[in-house]
Chains A and B, each alone.
Chain A
Amino acid sequence: MTVLSVGRPTRPESATQTPSASRGHGLVQEEPLIFELGGWDKSGVDLPKPALDAADLGDLVRCEPIGLPGLSEPETLRHYVRLSQKNHAIDLAMYPLGSCTMKHNPRLGEKLARLPGFADLHPLQPLQTVQGALELMDALAHWLKTLTGLPAVALSPKAGAHGELCGLLAIRAAHEARGDARRTVLAPTSAHGTNPATAALAGYAVTEIGQTADGHVDLADLAAKLGPHVAAVMVTNPNTCGLFEREVLEIARLTHAAGAYFYCDGANFNAIVGRVRPGDLGVDAMHINLHKTFSTPHGGGGPGAGPVVFSAALAPYAPRPWLVRGPQGLALAEHASGEAAAGFGRLCAFHGQMGMYVRALAYMMSHGADGLRQVAEDAVLAANYVKARLSGALTPAFPQGFCMHEALFDDAWLEGTGISTLDVAKALIDEGFHPMTMYFPLVVHGAMLIEPTESEPKRELDRFCDALLELAGAVRAGDVARFKGAPYFAPLRRLDETAAARRPRLAWTPEAPTPQPS
């Protein structure tokens, strides 16, 4: 192994022989933790030295050192810019994580969400001082209701899983209002992990519904498992195999005939927005990840927003707060009385993710009805294009027919090679792409779920397909080292996740005692 002049090892010898389409990584720098960099008496904020007589607080005053390092502004900028360069990002290259909808994030939304009239607004200001904000929420609600064909929406859920909880709690409240104590939720084996986790959180037992050989909900199994004990059926549509549940109307009919509600996981709404309204499919409740379909930035893991649209049957049970239009303009029903009396309660403090509402509405208005329809069409076309281009070399999980917005492959093409789905994903990193979603859905062996989205130009789709086809050639040629050792060109080589879990080290601890602050 050779060493750079700064003392950092270059990539190992084997990597130099490995062909790669990636660019140079000479800009990536080592960067210590702030706790190793910062000064205990240094600050990047100029504040007056307090002449504090905290006698009124007595023994409540914090006397011990806290343990927070500080950095000046230039050091701070450099620290975070260096760290940022160790991240893949949608602005850098394709990020085809299936089920995550990593599409372009328009910067107009960033600009608008920062207007003082939105960003510098307190949630508990008098309502007459926030009429524009309430109008914006009302406009967002109108778009969501129109796009889904459902009459009501709860805006406050803070992410998709929070929306699932919102939907199931409304369903539970609706059943309980009739004195009907149902204890079970049905969900397919292919469901997102959040579905069973949410059902359990909402107090339900979860029963799995089987799947047909062609990747759809097994109707016979659904019918057999439905009964008076079933509160809801949770189905993702398009499902996590990237297929539209073509028997969706029958799923809804069977569900309703059993007295249960049809909950749709709307994580994949991007595939059908503007082309199909979930309300026309018999859906009673569906969360919409604004950070997926309506492109509020994922931010390295949030924040998102998960508004839930409701059918007329469930609308009365939605959580507080509600928007109410009266003679004085818009108001919020924040307490359990009047219009919000039947609601199941409150999911969180205040009114939800306003910053995300601004971005999502800007996105919707920018696209318009015509553009949103084009979004779905381009997303579906891009996924089918990837599927068609790769199907000769990789093995599609469901080769027959078209997929929706994501193309699903299994690992049959890797059988006997000693190379796994994980290895392929890591090799894709060396090609400059973020890997696809791996090992999900669970119903497909060694799953690779590719969601290109509508944001990719054709040349980028081709570059990605070319890279994967080249990797498939390397698999066939038995170049195992290229895969097992990958990634070679990332800021770090493969990380030991087992060691991290065995002896968890979740916070930095000083090797020497923390110096006293001055």
Chain B
Amino acid sequence: MRYLPLTDADRAEMLAVVRAPSVEALFEDVPAATRLSGDLDLPPHQGELEVERALAGLAARNRAAGAGPFFCGAGAYRHHVPASVDHIIQRSEFLTSYTPYQPEIAQGTLQVLFEFQTQVAALTGLPVANASMYDGSTACAEAVMMAARVTRRRKAILSGGLHPHYAEAAWTLAHSAGVVTRRLPAAVDAERAVVEAIDTETACVVVQTPNVFGTASELGAIAEAAHAAGALMVVVTTEAVSFGLLKPPGAMGADIAVAEGQSIGNPLSFGGPYVGLFAAREAFVRQMPGRLCGETRDAEGRRGFVLTLSTREQHIRREKATSNICTNSGLCALAFSIHMTLLGETGLRRLAALNHARARRLRDALEALPRVEVLTPRFFNELALRLPRPAAAVVEALAAAGIVAGVPFSRLDPRAGLDDVLLVCATETTTDDDIAALARGLAAETAP
């Protein structure tokens, strides 16, 4: 077997040193009745060629996003990732290392994390960021828990503009810990309803911008209302490229900002692995979940980096930890950081502007369709459309014609009564031909 270096001669020699009569003897503590005598009913080992043939066969049965016109967003985004990003993250020293518990031989990973944290802090407009969460949705759920700890209150208001999967993931975690979540009705302009839902028992309001319908909002008034009631504002962003064009959460009064970082450096990969960004005001740093990398000095006074404030974490604090997270999204954070370094300020701003410009082109093309209504007034690169019939059926019909038209809102939340709403997204990868194809397809599918 190509991955197992021990030979039978090695094994015999090692058994002699161990003084075991057989390998079987090493498993003596396993109850005899439960020891398997033969192989399980699974295929035997296979060579690279055979495994590749089988799995490439499965891959070929999928329609890759890049295979034609494609308009899905809603929490995961198709962007161009520079070739060097994927090359660097496959270096053995990044790919096959562990969490940097021994800082003297993990300065590569640690410096990357310090740079990543600084980039995330800059993007979100908040002073401190952690070394990543699993994804945007779990970062959001952890933010709700953190707000409950900070305020010692047990109620969270979730905007109706929050991605329904995020709301559900937040409910799961909050509910188990006895924190109540109140989810406001889904609407394109759901942020308008948030302020009046805040009361003096509210730990936090969770608002998303751009929201799941694509609406970009000024959240300053919500922050003011939350702070006046002693609550925190958590701002969620699922499209990290928007940080290059839109006012950051920190500038609108966010106490905690969480985001899905997939857009920068990471492929769609059918939903994971992604990378959750988590930033907060400095005063809350000891209540933050996840790993934090900090600067220090070595015995000769040279700058170096270590994991720090670990007294918040599970391996030290156990049941009193701020979170149970251990493994996070290190390599995805590296990909994010490399891509962000390649972009730089200029590149990110251009990329964001380009996305917005493509989405406006898309809006213009769809607005011209007589039976399609564009619902989102101010957007970054996503729009909600109202169709004259259920969006799911339209998407299915267009998929058969080779066009992936977007995400029917009913796929995310079938109970919202928004079956006729279609979410569409354009990025720098969307061409004029793609847009024309979608417009033609939608025109045909919505014809009376």
In angstroms, Cα B272 to Cα A39, docked, is 32
Which residue of the partner chain A has the closest CB to B346? A43
Given contacts A200-B320, A350-B165, contact A76 B6 (CB under 8 A): no
In angstroms, Cα B64 to Cα A494, docked, is 48
- The answer to whether B341 and A303 have CB atoms under 8 Å apart is no
- The answer to whether A61 and B245 have CB atoms under 8 Å apart is yes
Closest chain-B Cβ to A244's Cβ sits at a distance in Å of 4
B323 surroundings in chain A (CB, below 8 A) = 197, 201
In angstroms, Cα B97 to Cα A305, docked, is 16
Closest chain-B Cβ to A186's Cβ sits at a distance in Å of 12
Which residue of the partner chain A has the closest CB to B242? A62
Flag whether A396 is at the interface (Cβ < 8 A): no
- The answer to whether A65 and B26 have CB atoms under 8 Å apart is no
Flag whether A106 is at the interface (Cβ < 8 A): yes
- The answer to whether A198 and B324 have CB atoms under 8 Å apart is yes
- The answer to whether B168 and A506 have CB atoms under 8 Å apart is no
Closest chain-B Cβ to A501's Cβ sits at a distance in Å of 5
17 residue pairs from A and B, CB less than 8 Å apart? A50-B350, A71-B344, A83-B111, A88-B106, A120-B65, A193-B317, A203-B177, A272-B27, A276-B27, A298-B327, A303-B327, A319-B172, A369-B42, A380-B23, A382-B6, A487-B104, A505-B294
Closest chain-B Cβ to A382's Cβ sits at a distance in Å of 7
User: B319: which of A57, A196, A499 is its contact (CB, 8 Å)?
Assistant: A196
In angstroms, Cα B134 to Cα A291, docked, is 14
The stretch from B74-82, B153-161, B199-207, B367-375 touching chain A is B74-82
- The answer to whether B272 and A45 have CB atoms under 8 Å apart is no
Flag whether B441 is at the interface (Cβ < 8 A): no
- The answer to whether B91 and A429 have CB atoms under 8 Å apart is no
Which residue of the partner chain A has the closest CB to B353? A50
Interface centre among A76, A119, A124 (most CB of B within 10 A): A124
Flag whether A206 is at the interface (Cβ < 8 A): yes
Size of the chain B interface, CB-CB below 8 angstroms? 207
CB-CB contacts of B289-321 with A at 8 A, as 1s and 0s? 001111111111010111011110111111111
- The answer to whether B300 and A493 have CB atoms under 8 Å apart is yes
- The answer to whether B97 and A89 have CB atoms under 8 Å apart is yes
Closest chain-B Cβ to A448's Cβ sits at a distance in Å of 13
Flag whether A159 is at the interface (Cβ < 8 A): yes
Given contacts A69-B341, A73-B82, A116-B59, contact A194 B330 (CB under 8 A): no
In angstroms, Cα B13 to Cα A321, docked, is 49
Flag whether A104 is at the interface (Cβ < 8 A): yes
- The answer to whether B304 and A492 have CB atoms under 8 Å apart is yes
Closest chain-B Cβ to A99's Cβ sits at a distance in Å of 10
Given contacts A319-B172, A347-B172, A458-B10, contact A402 B18 (CB under 8 A): yes
- The answer to whether B17 and A275 have CB atoms under 8 Å apart is no
- The answer to whether B163 and A121 have CB atoms under 8 Å apart is no
Flag whether A467 is at the interface (Cβ < 8 A): no
The stretch from B45-53, B183-191, B222-230 touching chain A is B45-53
Given contacts A133-B58, A384-B20, contact A199 B319 (CB under 8 A): yes
A266 surroundings in chain B (CB, below 8 A) = none
- The answer to whether B315 and A440 have CB atoms under 8 Å apart is yes
Which residue of the partner chain A has the closest CB to B51? A365
Flag whether B437 is at the interface (Cβ < 8 A): no
CB-CB contacts of B179-215 with A at 8 A, as 1s and 0s? 0000000000000000000000000000000000000
Flag whether A355 is at the interface (Cβ < 8 A): yes
- The answer to whether A80 and B88 have CB atoms under 8 Å apart is yes
Closest chain-B Cβ to A34's Cβ sits at a distance in Å of 5
Flag whether A466 is at the interface (Cβ < 8 A): no
User: A61: which of B6, B11, B246, B292 is its contact (CB, 8 Å)?
Assistant: B246
- The answer to whether B321 and A64 have CB atoms under 8 Å apart is no
Flag whether A258 is at the interface (Cβ < 8 A): no
Flag whether B233 is at the interface (Cβ < 8 A): no
In angstroms, Cα B271 to Cα A128, docked, is 16
- The answer to whether B98 and A353 have CB atoms under 8 Å apart is no
Closest chain-B Cβ to A263's Cβ sits at a distance in Å of 14
Closest chain-A Cβ to B344's Cβ sits at a distance in Å of 2
- The answer to whether B346 and A518 have CB atoms under 8 Å apart is yes
Given contacts A52-B353, A121-B62, contact A367 B1 (CB under 8 A): yes
3 smallest A-B Cβ distances: which pairs? Answer: A70-B344, A117-B59, A350-B271
Which residue of the partner chain B has the closest CB to A117? B59
Which residue of the partner chain A has the closest CB to B43? A368
Flag whether A457 is at the interface (Cβ < 8 A): yes
Given contacts A66-B348, A73-B342, contact A31 B270 (CB under 8 A): no
B46 surroundings in chain A (CB, below 8 A) = 365-366, 368
- The answer to whether A455 and B5 have CB atoms under 8 Å apart is yes
A244 surroundings in chain B (CB, below 8 A) = 27, 29-30
- The answer to whether A112 and B55 have CB atoms under 8 Å apart is yes
In angstroms, Cα B111 to Cα A143, docked, is 38
Closest chain-B Cβ to A154's Cβ sits at a distance in Å of 12
Given contacts A70-B341, A122-B404, contact A83 B107 (CB under 8 A): yes
B318 surroundings in chain A (CB, below 8 A) = 193, 196-197, 206
- The answer to whether B45 and A496 have CB atoms under 8 Å apart is no
In angstroms, Cα B348 to Cα A351, docked, is 29
In angstroms, Cα B1 to Cα A104, docked, is 13
B100 surroundings in chain A (CB, below 8 A) = 300-301
CB within 8 Å of A: which B426-446 residues:
428
CB-CB contacts of A90-117 with B at 8 A, as 1s and 0s? 1110010100101011101011111111
- The answer to whether B321 and A193 have CB atoms under 8 Å apart is yes
A12 surroundings in chain B (CB, below 8 A) = 300
B235 surroundings in chain A (CB, below 8 A) = none
Which residue of the partner chain B has the closest CB to A373? B39
Instruction: Kindly count the residue-residue contacts between A and B in the assembled complex, taking CB atoms under 8 Å apart.
Output: 724
Which residue of the partner chain A has the closest CB to B131? A301
Of the four ranges (under 10, 10 to 19, 20 to 34, 35 or more), the interface on chain A belongs to 35 or more
Closest chain-A Cβ to B332's Cβ sits at a distance in Å of 6
In angstroms, Cα B247 to Cα A12, docked, is 50
Flag whether A482 is at the interface (Cβ < 8 A): no
Which residue of the partner chain B has the closest CB to A206? B319
- The answer to whether A201 and B118 have CB atoms under 8 Å apart is no
- The answer to whether B4 and A371 have CB atoms under 8 Å apart is yes
Given contacts A123-B76, A301-B98, contact A52 B356 (CB under 8 A): yes
Flag whether A463 is at the interface (Cβ < 8 A): no
A118 surroundings in chain B (CB, below 8 A) = 59, 62, 269-270
- The answer to whether A348 and B65 have CB atoms under 8 Å apart is no
Can you add 10 more A-B contacts, CB < 8 Å, to A85-B108, A493-B298? A52-B353, A52-B357, A97-B101, A110-B95, A118-B62, A300-B109, A369-B39, A384-B20, A485-B299, A507-B117
In angstroms, Cα B36 to Cα A54, docked, is 67
A159 surroundings in chain B (CB, below 8 A) = 134, 325-328
B313 surroundings in chain A (CB, below 8 A) = 193
Interface centre among B30, B61, B329 (most CB of A within 10 A): B30
Flag whether B60 is at the interface (Cβ < 8 A): yes
In angstroms, Cα B347 to Cα A73, docked, is 13
A77 surroundings in chain B (CB, below 8 A) = 84, 87-88
- The answer to whether A197 and B317 have CB atoms under 8 Å apart is yes
Flag whether B150 is at the interface (Cβ < 8 A): no
B106 surroundings in chain A (CB, below 8 A) = 86-88, 300
Closest chain-A Cβ to B32's Cβ sits at a distance in Å of 11
Flag whether A277 is at the interface (Cβ < 8 A): yes
- The answer to whether B45 and A426 have CB atoms under 8 Å apart is no
The stretch from A160-168, A220-228, A307-315, A412-420 touching chain B is A160-168
CB-CB contacts of A347-380 with B at 8 A, as 1s and 0s? 1111111111010011011111111111101101
CB-CB contacts of B92-120 with A at 8 A, as 1s and 0s? 11111111111111111101101101110
- The answer to whether A349 and B378 have CB atoms under 8 Å apart is no
- The answer to whether B332 and A303 have CB atoms under 8 Å apart is yes
B293 surroundings in chain A (CB, below 8 A) = 506
Closest chain-B Cβ to A232's Cβ sits at a distance in Å of 13
In angstroms, Cα B89 to Cα A126, docked, is 30
Interface centre among A9, A86, A361 (most CB of B within 10 A): A86
In angstroms, Cα B337 to Cα A163, docked, is 27
Flag whether A335 is at the interface (Cβ < 8 A): yes
Closest chain-A Cβ to B422's Cβ sits at a distance in Å of 12
CB-CB contacts of B228-241 with A at 8 A, as 1s and 0s? 00000000000000
